Structure 1
Amino acid sequence: MCLIPLFVNLHHKKIVLAGGGTVAARKLQKLLPFHHNITIVSPEISSIIQNLIDQYQIQWIKARCQLSHMTEADVIIIATNDPATNQYLAEHAPEKAWVNASHQAHVGNLQFPITINKGRLQVAISTGGASPILAQKIKQTIEEQIPDSYEQYIDFLYQARITVRTHIASAQKRQELLQTIVDEPIFSTRAQQDWLDHVAQMKSM
């Protein structure tokens, strides 16, 4: 199966999570930014999931997941403790839905990569299900190369891009300015503000 990496906004998508155990809890934690759109379907749930439901007001249907629960779903996460149920749901999920099948990744069309998140910076890592252990090792290696200051620095880069696009007409000059602060990072907040002020005062070029 050929997969293409994407960053997707799920704020207006209906998410159904079938399952209430350890695997389901891990999936739920990844989806918490979209908790208003999540429905959990499971006859029983773990204490971890119960705590998340209470904290984020997530809808829970206390029942075995049926096809009727998935009809309107845009994203379906199959993570029950029953292999037969998992297989049945995967085989009968709506064609329009993105399906993540925890029991057999190749069955679905959606996979959750291991991620590194530092503010605006997101790095996704996947081995296509071949070795989650290797993916974790790669994550650790990358994290060791990213200083804590990068989160604030990338916020500065975002503001710098807006400022440059606002005040500099020349595409070449914009590229030169933005390339400079990547090649020669500015981590001091005072120096960052000075740089932004300097660009804002430059004549349109």
Structure 2
Amino acid sequence: MEHKFFPLFIDLSHKRCLVIGAGNIACRKIKTLLKYGANVEVITREVAESEILELQDIKISMRDFTEEDLKNVFLVVAATNNSDFNRYIYEICNENNILVNNMTSKVEMNARFAAVYEGDSVQVAVSAKGYPKKSLEIRDSIKKLLEKN
């Protein structure tokens, strides 16, 4: 079933965000969350992207995820390379009204990250319904257009 996503800008300052997994995609999502002031915790068995270890202001827990980890969490990023496990995380979060972004599905999530352009007086977010490369292309076109003026 396809979800209808309502576009919304959210202040993540001091919001508890959980990233499950620690690969390349997780690293990009962690950086984005940190940029917007989130309190980020990473739960993983192993860190596949060493850059994560260099990031400031995150908590890394080297262990398996448990449902108890979702207590008082605002947003979850399911960023493991196991689509069945990410679906499981999505289902738990969705049942508990927790925002969740699933890196291995375009539909088993209730929150998407957008490609963002921030100018002096404007912020534009683009979603191409789960196709990040297309989102980036559109964002870059918008950036060129806005920076001309």
TM-score class, shorter-chain normalisation, is: 0.7 to 0.9
Q: Deviations over 1:29-56 (max 9, x none)?
A: 111135561111111122111111xxx2
Question: More helix per residue: 1 or 2?
Answer: 1
Label 1:37 to 1:120 Cα distance change in 2 as closer, same or farther (>3 A).
farther
Aligned to 2:139: 139
Aligned to 1:49: 52
Label 1:58 to 1:128 Cα distance change in 2 as closer, same or farther (>3 A).
same
The percent of aligned pairs where both chains have the same amino acid is: 26
CA contact (8 A) 2:15 2:38 kept: no
Question: More strand per residue: 1 or 2?
Answer: 2
Deviation at 1:145, TM superposition (A): 1.6
TM-score for both structures, normalised by structure 1: 0.64
1:38-187 matches, within 5 Å, as 38-45=40-47, 46-52=49-55, 56-93=56-93, 95-129=96-130, 131-147=131-147
Tell me how far apart the structure 2 counterparts of residues 133 and 88 of structure 1 sit (CA, whole Å). 26
Superposed CA RMSD in Å reads 1.9
Tell me how far apart the structure 2 counterparts of residues 107 and 11 of structure 1 sit (CA, whole Å). 26
Aligned to 2:25: 23
Q: Alignment length, in residue pairs? A: 145
Aligned to 1:33: 35
Label 1:74 to 1:118 Cα distance change in 2 as closer, same or farther (>3 A).
same
- Consecutive unaligned residues of structure 2, counting only runs of 5 or more, are none
Aligned to 1:192: none
Deviation at 1:120, TM superposition (A): 4.5
Deviation at 1:114, TM superposition (A): 0.9
Residue type of the partner of 2:90?
Answer: A
CA contact (8 A) 1:35 1:58 kept: no
Q: Deviations over 1:112-170 (max 9, x none)?
A: 011112244211111212x333322212211112228x8xxxxxxxxxxxxxxxxxxxx
TM-score for both structures, normalised by structure 2: 0.86
- Consecutive unaligned residues of structure 1, counting only runs of 5 or more, are 151-205
CA contact (8 A) 2:118 2:124 kept: yes
